[in-house]
Amino acid sequence: MAPPNGDKGTALLEKLSRIDSGKPPFGCMQCGLCAATCPLGPAMEYPPRKLILQTIAGNLDKVLTSPSLWMCVACYACSKRCPRGIELTEELWPALRDAAMQEGHQPPAELQETFQNVFKYGNVLGKSPRQRLQWAKDLDVRVLDLSKDPKPVDVLWLVGCYPSYYPRNQGVARSFARIMTELGVSWGILGTKEKAVGECDRMFGEEGLFETLVEQNRQLFDEQDFGKIVVLDPHAFRALQSFYPRFGAWYPVQHYTQFLEEYIEQLKPLMVKPVEAVVTYHDNCCVGRRCECYDPPRELLKLIPGVKLVEMSRNRDDSLCCGGGGGGMWLDAHIVANGGRRLSDERVQQAADTGADTLAVSCPYELSRFEDAAKVTGLEGKLKVRDIIELMAESMDLGERSIA
């Protein structure tokens, strides 16, 4: 019997039966745990459970045209809990979005713009690649640009789009450069040649674009001689760890929290200045929930004298997403227009409820998302949002010497 959607239905189901991680969706028992777990589930016309049901039943046209297809923010909560081990976040949603785009159903405009930015400029912000090194201007430590001066290094640091261009994040990049130098790490960057890793493109079903990026990045990486890649962006970490190898592009990669944790003993005596703050840490979804790496960021925070670490009621496994993952960064308007809410607003409130004055993060998106959220929810001035790197640099007294 031919499936109701003919060839495209067959192709999609065929694709879903050959997925790379987790179990295929055909084993779904319609328990609805995913739908009720999803922070945006109540607002979705087709939350994950219904998405599967309709897809298997052959009602593809319904799900591919629904606004809810563009509401998942890749928080991994559903995948993590699904009792049948179905990888919804990384497999089902991207496959359906890919199918939708192939059918000519476009994602929300803001997201399309982001794809185009990546396509044209190699970064999500649509900035000129020539300005990629702007963040390092007048920096008081030596920055080795491997694209100009290829040398063997231990660490190839992918600075990332936000830390390269976005003013609020540039300080984080500068601090990280100083911390690595202080630790005596041999590191280098790709300078103006660096490109987005493309995680959001894959999660959003832009598979063609993603493949192009993998190819371009593979060439760039293969020109260099390095021990491992270190990234600030958890999404880039996940992409390099899990999606790149599917194209044969395998590189050892660490998120910066994992990387720095290996230097704990060396870092201890370097923490000279107390940072008096009550800090609560927000687990990001990619390094946290998906890879179950919960301790390194906390261990780093515990190193800092003066910091009192408190936990939000939802932490680790149960952490609430900031809403920025897998392209969610450019979906706030779409989500709110379709009855959803900004998860970052809720999350800063949860942080404030702990009595903390500082919300520590380890993801470039979260800085601006949570700062905006603090403004919207009236927490501005009461709750500071800071990257772990910033807190560490402050304690290590690695301030903006050259600038100040």
CB of 216 closer than 8 Å to CB of 143:
no
Residue from 316, 380, 399, 400 binding other proteins (CB under 8 A): 316
Q: Is 49 in the site for ligand SF4 (CB under 6 A)?
A: yes
Give the binding range for other proteins (CB under 8 A) out of 44-52, 118-126, 148-156, 226-234. 44-52
- Estimate the crossing angle of helix 364-376 against helix 343-353, to 10 degrees: 80
Residue 21 binds to other proteins (criterion: CB under 8 A): no
Q: Does 35 bind other proteins (CB under 8 A)?
A: yes
**Residue with smaller CB distance to other proteins, 4 or 83:** 83
Could you tell me which stretch among 188-196, 197-205, 312-320, 357-365 binds other proteins (CB under 8 A)? 312-320
Q: Do residues 326 and 200 lie in contact, with contact meaning Cβ atoms separated by under 8 Å?
A: yes
Which residues 50-79 are close enough to bind ligand SF4 by CB under 6 A?
52, 72-78
- Using CB under 8 A, pick the residue from 4, 20, 26, 29 that binds other proteins: 29
Residue 24: partners with Cβ closer than 8 Å, 6 or more residues away: 16, 17, 18, 86
Alpha-carbon 121 to chain mean position? 20
* Residue 57 sits in the site that holds other proteins (CB under 8 A): no
Q: How far is the CB of 271 from ligand SF4 (least distance, A)?
A: 36
CB atoms within 10 A of CB 305: 12
Cα–Cα distance for residue pair 117/119, rounded to 1 Å? 5
Of 33-41, 94-102, 123-131, 219-227: span binding ligand SF4 (CB under 6 A)? 33-41
Nearer to ligand SF4 by Cβ, of 90 and 261: the residue is 90
Task: Rule CB under 6 A: say whether 83 interacts with ligand SF4.
Answer: yes
Taking the complex as a whole, the smallest distance from the CB of residue 71 to ligand SF4 amounts, in Å, to 7
Q: What region, left, alpha or beta, does residue 32 occupy, with left being phi > 0 and alpha being psi -120 to 50 degrees? A: left
Q: Which residues bind ligand SF4 (CB under 6 A)?
A: 28-34, 37-38, 40, 48-49, 52, 72-78, 82-84, 86, 88-89
Q: Which residues bind other proteins (CB under 8 A)?
A: 23, 29-37, 41-42, 47, 49-50, 81-85, 316-318
